[in-house]
Amino acid sequence: MNYFCRETCIIHIFFVTLYAEMNANEPLRLIIGPCAVESAGQMRAVASSLGAAFHSVACGVRIILRAGLWKPRSRPDSFQGVGAEGLPWLTGAADALGVPAATEVATPEHLLTAYDAGLRHFWIGARTTSNPFMVEALAAVPIADKASVTWYVKNPTSPDIELWCGAIERLRQAGYEQVAAIHRGFALGECSASAYRNAPVWSVPIELKRRYPTLPVLTDASHIAGRAALVADVARQAMRIGMDGLMIEVHPCPAEALSDAEQQLTPEELGTLLADMTTSRHDDMTKNPTDELTALREQIDETDDELWALISRRLHIAEQIGAYKRANNLPVLQTARYDEILSKRMAWAAGHGIDPQAAKQIMDIIHEQSVLAQT
Ligand code: PEP
Ligand code: MN
């Protein structure tokens, strides 16, 4: 399946409709802090350097201090986290900042240890969400006061929405009422044309919000971006689309970070990003649609009617071509012809202010459907 095509289409076609329908009454949540707890000194520096940025945030916004104690790393020789030893450093920093602390838990032991140390906000990492056995094991931990716990479920590393939903449902079925999701992008490897570390594939979190309209869905701008310079762009996109909050990694000295050094912001960069972010969302999201917006939506609906009529016409022509090729023993796929169509449309797109790559993605899915119509 071509996820980029789906992403492009959904964002372009449904963007306006979606924007006002998102859950504007949910308080914005910001989960901010270093990738990992590294030392007592680092967490003291976190506490002293984040205060200014946290205080600049408008009231009504919920801030949570994040830092990983147990780090799921691809390679065994990278920093694996300080483990339970860092719990008092994390809770100390959170207390000093006057906000709750959150950490990643991947095993029942992590959860019980962190819960016993007083933590009530936990996220399930992308690699753990991918494993239903692990999610099941976490959901089954006998937590005394489930009502006090908030879960944040990151998307699995592949764009498999059922796995993401499955993890959310397992926690809900275990009696947790405060469950949110975190969109952290998808590892598409070679298939990805994205400039980011993890491709956002916005269509997946959008579909999640469609399925669960009251579920808060946050965007982890840092793990999507992968580079500090791109974090603000992703955060801005998330806010414009109507996501319910952000996870952002920030470190007192990113260059010295033991994990994810390239993507962590300095406290000053965080301050600038937050000043940008939170004011505009509130103003934008609380307005009622104006007559102008309603009129524009009518135009979108009319354009979609025309677009789908054209797509349907194109598919009928493809069926006739299929019949001709069958009768004349010609193969369905003729790559030279598709090359010609594609170059023409990409050149046209470039001349009309449309990203040629986006044009290619749309053309690829239309062509795929035409090929299937001929078989
Ligand atoms: C993290 O938040 O530090 C982390 C490891 O995230 P993910 O599970 O999204 O890779
Ligand atoms: Mn990280």
The pLDDT, as a whole number, for residue 73 is 84
- Residue 5: which of 275, 251, 188 has the closest Cα? 188
Other CB atoms within 10 Å distance of the CB of residue 289: 13
The pLDDT, as a whole number, for residue 277 is 74
Rounded to whole angstroms, the Cα distance separating 120 from 163 reads 24
Q: Kindly give the distance from the C-alpha atom of residue 80 to the centroid of ligand 2, in angstroms, as a whole number.
A: 11
165's tokens: 């939903």
Residue nearest to atom 8 of ligand 1 (CA): 125
Choose which residue among 82, 184, 224 to substitute to test ligand 1 binding: the one with the highest number of ligand atoms within 8 A of its C-beta: 184
245 DSSP β-pair partners: 29, 218
What are the C-alpha distances in Å from 75 to residues 78, 79, 126, 239? 6, 9, 16, 33
CB-based contact 145:117 (threshold 8 Å): no
Other CB atoms within 10 Å distance of the CB of residue 116: 11
CB-based contact 122:64 (threshold 8 Å): no
- Burial zone of 139 (CB within 10 Å; 0-12 exposed, 13-18 middle, 19+ buried): buried
Q: Is 345 in the pocket of ligand 1 (CB under 6 A)?
A: no
Helix/strand/coil percentages in the chain, nearest 5: 60, 10, 30
Q: Is 223 in the pocket of ligand 1 (CB under 6 A)?
A: yes
Q: Kindly give the distance from the C-alpha atom of residue 174 to the centroid of ligand 2, in angstroms, as a whole number.
A: 28
- For residue range 86-111, list pLDDT tens digits in order: 999 999 999 999 999 999 999 999 99
Q: How many residues comprise the chain?
A: 375
CB-based contact 263:235 (threshold 8 Å): no
Q: Kindly give the distance from the C-alpha atom of residue 287 to the centroid of ligand 1, in angstroms, as a whole number.
A: 34
Residues of the chain with pLDDT under 50: 1-24, 282
CB-based contact 110:139 (threshold 8 Å): no
356's tokens: 């040629």
Q: Kindly give the distance from the C-alpha atom of residue 333 to the centroid of ligand 1, in angstroms, as a whole number.
A: 42
Rounded to whole angstroms, the Cα distance separating 247 from 219 reads 6
The pLDDT, as a whole number, for residue 151 is 98
Q: Kindly give the distance from the C-alpha atom of residue 284 to the centroid of ligand 1, in angstroms, as a whole number.
A: 30
CA dihedral 203, 204, 207, 213 (to 10 degrees): -120
- Burial zone of 328 (CB within 10 Å; 0-12 exposed, 13-18 middle, 19+ buried): exposed
Q: Is 215 in the pocket of ligand 1 (CB under 6 A)?
A: no
Q: Is 35 in the pocket of ligand 1 (CB under 6 A)?
A: yes
Residue nearest to atom 10 of ligand 1 (CA): 126
Rounded to whole angstroms, the Cα distance separating 71 from 37 reads 10
Its pTM stands at 0.80
The pLDDT, as a whole number, for residue 25 is 57
C-alpha R_g of the chain? 23
344's tokens: 């023409």
CB-based contact 171:153 (threshold 8 Å): yes
